[in-house]
Structure 1
Amino acid sequence: MATITVVGGTGYAGGSIAREAARRGHTVVSFSRTVPEGDARIDGVRYETGSMLDAEARDRAVTGSDVVVSALAPRGELDGRIVEADDALAALALERGVRLGVVGGFSSLRGAEGAPRFAETGDLPPEFASEALQMNEVLTHLLGSQDALDWFFVSPAMQFGSYAPGEALGRYRVGGEVALFDEAGVSAVSGADFALAVVDEIETPAHRRAQFGVAY
């Protein structure tokens, strides 16, 4: 069993990953700005508070962990500073020999082999462009990182989030940099099944220093 720290562990993606990792018996630590209350707390998860813009909180998040998963979003205090936060986590992970996973966005995928990433086309809806560009920059920095840093960057399907929770089907498909769509042209995955894929990757690494996508 591994010690897994989920940064942003009370959000949609982070909470789903923390729940699945705890269900499998891993030691799970969730970092967020506030601690959830009541039914929002997941059995088997230890909750810590702190901002990933704070060096002391980052140190606590990485110390003692086998894997750190950053499920941060470029919102609130992290809007415009998400790259700074994830770069700092990457530097600590490299220093401590910890594996780093980053939950990115659908827009960091490509429409076809060799095509630009969706975030790089200039065609994103204005309401999504800023977040997509920031997360794509996180990926760019990881791609240019030192070879000794063990990382993966996982992009969920287009339809993913609390607005489209879907059902836990117990299955998923994994792709590389090219977005996955089903036979009806839909790209979707539930939080529970996305978490299955992430924890499977932690338990049986198949994407080292690489991006992969998850969808049905």
Structure 2
Amino acid sequence: ITYKSEIMKVALIGASGFVGTSILKELLSRGHEVLALVRQPEKITLENEKLTVKGVDVLDTNALTNAVKNEDAVISAYNAGWTNPNLYNDFLAGSEAIQKAVKDAAKPRLIVIGGAGSLEINGQQLVDGPEFPAAYKAGATAARDYLNILKKETDFQWTFFSPAIEMHPGITTGRTGKYRLGKDQPVFDANNKCSLSVEDLAVVIVDELENNQHPQQRFTAAY
């Protein structure tokens, strides 16, 4: 595959997580220079001449601001931990700290990977529906509430991505490079499924980085 896009310097927050790992591989496969910002640098064993790994706590806004100040864009795959009892508050605190660091560093762009819970069907957000899984409610509510905060941001360019309703390790289609885009409603296929592999999520995010199709918008993607 040949990409005509310019090589970018990208800070990737949460690069050792489930989503972050795939985005990291996709960025490097397209030749971008990646600064991986993680809590535990030893978790990243990948070696690449275009990869720099740095340990940083997202709540340390000064350290984060200094880390991202020479980058062209920041991608946040920040996750406060699904089993974290304080997930709601920690996700919001971390996300707002990242937003502040990007603003303080005068960075042009922030791409945030959020949740599917804020997608709407018939005007109702999924997270508010009776069938929404309780195990994911705190994280999904936090991502939804953070999207509302981000929508007020006018000092820099942001994009918020809501994954498909089904986007988890059990989806094994791998990297097909094919997907369909949506905005505020889930994208369903002919079988009424809304799914995407994490590898194709990474394709979507890096395509957005390169093509800049959704400035100041939330969007979604699925097969």
- TM-score, L = length of structure 2: 0.87
Where does residue 70 of structure 1 map in the other structure? 76
Tell me what 1:11 maps to: 17
Q: Does 1:86 align with 2:95?
A: yes
1:28-56 Cα offsets, whole Å, 9 max, x none, are 11111112458x42533221112111224
Instruction: In structure 2, list runs of 5 or more residues that go unmatched.
Output: 1-6
C-alpha displacement at 1:124, in angstroms?
Answer: 2.3
Mapped pair 1:98 → 2:108: yes
Rounded to whole Å, the distance in 2 between the matches of 1:20 and 1:93 is 22
* TM-score using structure 1 length: 0.90
Q: Residue type matched to 1:83 in 2?
A: L
What is the CA-CA distance between 1:63 and the residue it aligns to? 1.6
Letter in 2 for 1:41: L
- CA–CA distance in 2 between the matches of 1:165 and 1:56? 39
Deviations 1:54-110 (A, max 9, x none): 224322432211111111113249722221221122123233133011101111211
Query: Paired residues, what number?
Result: 212
Partner of 2:124: 116
Taking a change above 3 Å as real, the CA distance of residues 37 and 209 of structure 1, as seen in their structure-2 partners, is: closer
For residue 133 of structure 1, what is the aligned residue in structure 2?
A: 141
Q: What's the C-alpha RMSD, in Å, of the aligned pairs? A: 2.0
2:13–2:36 CA contact under 8 A, matched in 1: yes
Q: Aligned residue for 1:58? A: 64
Contact 1:108 1:135 in 2 (8 A): yes
Deviations 1:142-174 (A, max 9, x none): 0122x2320000011111122434321121111
5 Å-filtered alignment, 1:150-189, equals 150-189=157-196
**Deviation beyond 4 Å, 4+ runs, structure 1:** none
Once the 2 structures are TM-superposed, how far is the Cα of residue 141 of structure 1 from its aligned partner?
0.4
Residue 61 of structure 2 contacts residue 101 of structure 2 at CA under 8 Å; is this kept in 1? Answer: no
What are the ranges of 5 or more consecutive residues in structure 1 without an aligned counterpart?
none
CA separation of 1:109 and 1:189: change in aligned 2, threshold 3 A: same
